[in-house]
Structure 1
């Protein structure tokens, strides 16, 4: 897959708004995951105008917690452009009705809509629905730094998702992988093998949360050092 768009001078932020790990003590935790992707980019080459785009990826398990955290993070539901649902488990769609009560006009992209990879808006892609028993899609953003891959739970396998991204964009490096990796019950040898695969795929940064598992987070932190990002509700990752 190729694209001719430009990513220079854009500002990109990823804000974790629902998670079972906490980065901000003022926010509420709960089992599940949601993050907001906010991108500000120039419109045209000479106009000087900027466009802001806000994507809500998953909605956590609980509307009250989600909306409370959004309010404290100054995320206004009316500014959300669309909702991207990774998969249909309760801990990722539980807050959906709460958002839709406020914004019934919002487009919701569920995995069954995308049997194959597709560009949703400029430089923002779905992997398409992956996996066998549990269908799940992940979000890929092309940025000036490289690919940013955001997973809900990574039920299809986190390495499989990364390999899909490289299949879509073979000439792009993977700058950041963020989200739930579904590795809570994995044993040490399997985790070391996965980290080795991350290195082989030249993943530069990792920001694990949700269902990744404490052992997994510790091993990634040891391996990645300063390139490991402690993720949890309230974490803001700025990419410029």
Structure 2
């Protein structure tokens, strides 16, 4: 009888542990931002975020200065050669300026950029040895990662979406089309709830009442966690922190965010 009880307990333990062992975390590291976080890193106007744990390692945006991007990567012990894909949100210099210094370190990458980028930029990327993919409509990048496609009218911009077991993770560059509009578009593309939104929200020039309304709308859209940085502004960060409380994540250069058990074996598709 004791042996049977032992076997039952062992089976139950295995049933609990095996799915966890097979699960994989999503790791996000802000490599470049104008907001400080890790004191050993330099700040500068712009944004870049490393995405690890997905089928391919992705660098979303590359900041404005290549030497600073590469130096911050070095201090964070990130090997540029480990990056498989670069995704550029939009054509502004503070998001693409570091690209060619990065490509000197690793040109064996695929660069996903909005179709509206200039011919000159596209040619220079190909000359540097990288593969180029132009994005206009929502596009699959890997098994669990896709682009929203070009959004906005005056400034065309794409955002990155990662499908996890906990919901969708959205990374924005500057959110020129509007952060609420981006989240609404994501929910149109995929019916899953939005678990986490990280990046620039483009709220620097907005009044307190406008930012409060946006924060309210994000709550209504059931965005669980939030981490505004880059062009979001201090006022917006304060307002979102009050609204989201423990679900607000302070973000700045060097910030590392781990979403545990984000992917099952089926999700990764390996």
Q: What is the TM-score with the length of structure 1 in the denominator?
A: 0.90
Q: CA deviation at 1:111?
A: 1.2
- Residue ranges of structure 1 left out of the alignment (5+ in a row): 1-7, 41-51
Q: Choose which of 33, 36, 40 in structure 2 pairs with 1:19.
A: 33
Q: Which range moved further: 100-109 or 140-149? A: 100-109
Are 1:31 and 2:31 an aligned pair? no
Please give the residue correspondences for 1:147-158 in structure 2 after superposition, counting only pairs within 5 Å.
147-158=168-179
- 3-state DSSP class of the match of 2:222? coil
Provide the alpha-carbon RMSD of the alignment. 1.2
Please give the residue correspondences for 1:71-86 in structure 2 after superposition, counting only pairs within 5 Å.
71-86=74-89
- 3-state DSSP class of the match of 2:104? helix
**Which consecutive segments of 4 or more residues in structure 1 shift more than 2 A?**
none
Q: CA deviation at 1:123?
A: 1.0
Q: CA deviation at 1:115?
A: 1.3
Could you say which structure has the larger radius of gyration?
2
Are 1:121 and 2:181 an aligned pair? no
Aligned length: 222
Higher helix residue share:
2
Q: CA deviation at 1:188?
A: 1.3
Q: CA deviation at 1:117?
A: 0.5
Please give the residue correspondences for 1:102-121 in structure 2 after superposition, counting only pairs within 5 Å.
102-112=105-115, 113-121=134-142
Q: CA deviation at 1:53?
A: 2.8
- Residue ranges of structure 2 left out of the alignment (5+ in a row): 1-21, 116-133, 261-270
Please give the residue correspondences for 1:23-102 in structure 2 after superposition, counting only pairs within 5 Å.
23-39=37-53, 53-102=56-105
Give the whole-Å Cα distance in 1 for the aligned partners of 2:171 and 2:163.
12
